[in-house]
Amino acid sequence: MNHSADVVIAGGGIVGAACAYECARAGLSVTVIEGAIIGGGASAAGMGHIVVMDDSEAQFNLTLLSQQLWSERVAEMTDGVEHLPCGTLWVAADEEEMAEVRRKRAFYSQRGVPVEMLDSRQLAEAEPHLRPDLAGGLLVPGDSVVYPPVAARWLLDRCGARVLTGVPIATLDDNGATLEDGSRVSGGVIVNALGAKAARLMPSIPVTPRKGHLVITDRYPGFLRHQLVELGYLKSAHSAGADSIAFNVQPRRTGQVLIGSSRQFGADHKGIDQPILSRMLRRAAEYMPRIGSLIAIRAWTGFRAATPDHLPLIGPMPGASRLWLATGHEGLGVTTALATGRLIADQITGRSSPIDAAPYLPARCIHG
């Protein structure tokens, strides 16, 4: 059976769903092709955080725009999206990390993002289960978490895109996609939103899988109030090439606690890496001694779509006339999904965008 649409989106994760949503809202007809289950890849495997980040000006602009778009959407989304406006609390272990807290405070404040600096005592009051000798932290109250598979489903249901699920894509080209059952979906514009698998069909895309581990607990309402991230995170986790773990825990609206995180390159098997899992859980227990006694009900892994410069690839594929990319979001796919969709829809329709799209254009690292 063959279909055609103005826009064909390969991949029904949160990014593909957001692209479909924005394109459909711009008046385009959209078909989404998902080989497995909507929101079932990195969207399901990740933490589902919506965080404003400050690694670079470009990352900040994209995450802030996307957070604004999320806050417009979540109010109308179904309950199953499990939106929890818990904020992020960046935790400083020592004076050196407090310097980072002050730098972050200045960065966010200068750009109009409300933040609050906490000293050691205020941190202990904000999160009583943290170990007592920590130096302080920075609270970013506007951050939140969602459950991405249901959010992706909602975006697709709401925008009325045609959704084809269950048959993977065999090839992508300038005119459309051929599925593994031989059927053909053609479109005016083809968007590769396949996440960590984006390079399988287009090998010149510099996206590599970066493996992560997570553990979720039974329900402990009130145990955790904010998403917590250690400030060693930036130093350790982004040092490309080395395996790393960091203390990153998150309350879910169910009362469950999500325990992360790990980052590995070159690990392509889906199984749990026990040494990494052990390090990750021990790190969490160093910050929150009680966390080891919480009942863990599930551990799993997933693959982030990493790019060399840690910025996503959003825009036309160099050397191709109608192929576009929306991938490479690494650990920020949920946060930046809605802004990605907006930029893609703006570029396809020739509209102007709320932010400068240049830093995310694939042409910066792909030469056609």
Give the binding site for other proteins (CB under 8 A): 36-40, 44, 80, 149-150, 153, 165-166, 215, 217-220, 254, 259, 272, 274, 277-278, 281-282, 284-285, 291-300
30 vs 151 by CB, closer to other proteins: 151
Interatomic CA distance for residues 327 and 333, integer angstroms: 8
37 vs 240 by CB, closer to other proteins: 37
CB of 68 to other proteins, least distance (A): 27
87 vs 149 by CB, closer to other proteins: 149
CB of 221 to other proteins, least distance (A): 10
Q: Which candidate, 42, 26, 36, 67, places its Cα nearest to that of 160?
A: 26
Q: Which amino acid is at 75?
A: A
CB of 70 to other proteins, least distance (A): 20
Interatomic CA distance for residues 58 and 84, integer angstroms: 26
Angle, to 10 degrees, between the axis of helix 57-74 and the axis of helix 333-349? 90
179 vs 291 by CB, closer to other proteins: 291
- The secondary structure of 238-260, three-state, reads CCCCCCEEEEEEEECCCCEEEEE
108 vs 303 by CB, closer to other proteins: 303
CB of 334 to other proteins, least distance (A): 14
Contacts of 363 (CB under 8 A, 6+ apart): 315, 316, 318
CB of 198 to other proteins, least distance (A): 21
CB of 301 to other proteins, least distance (A): 10
- Is residue 316 within a helix (H) or strand (E), and if so which, with residue range? strand 313-316
Interatomic CA distance for residues 52 and 68, integer angstroms: 10
- Angle (CA) 328-330-335 rounded to 5° is 100
215 vs 355 by CB, closer to other proteins: 215
CB of 264 to other proteins, least distance (A): 16
Q: First-to-last CA distance in the chain? A: 32
- Is residue 70 within a helix (H) or strand (E), and if so which, with residue range? helix 57-74
User: What is the sign of the dihedral through the CA atoms of 179, 185, 189 and 193?
Assistant: negative
CB of 284 to other proteins, least distance (A): 8
59 vs 301 by CB, closer to other proteins: 301
225 vs 238 by CB, closer to other proteins: 225
60 vs 247 by CB, closer to other proteins: 247
* Burial (0-12, 13-18, 19+ Cβ within 10 Å), 163: buried
Interatomic CA distance for residues 340 and 348, integer angstroms: 12
CB of 9 to other proteins, least distance (A): 19
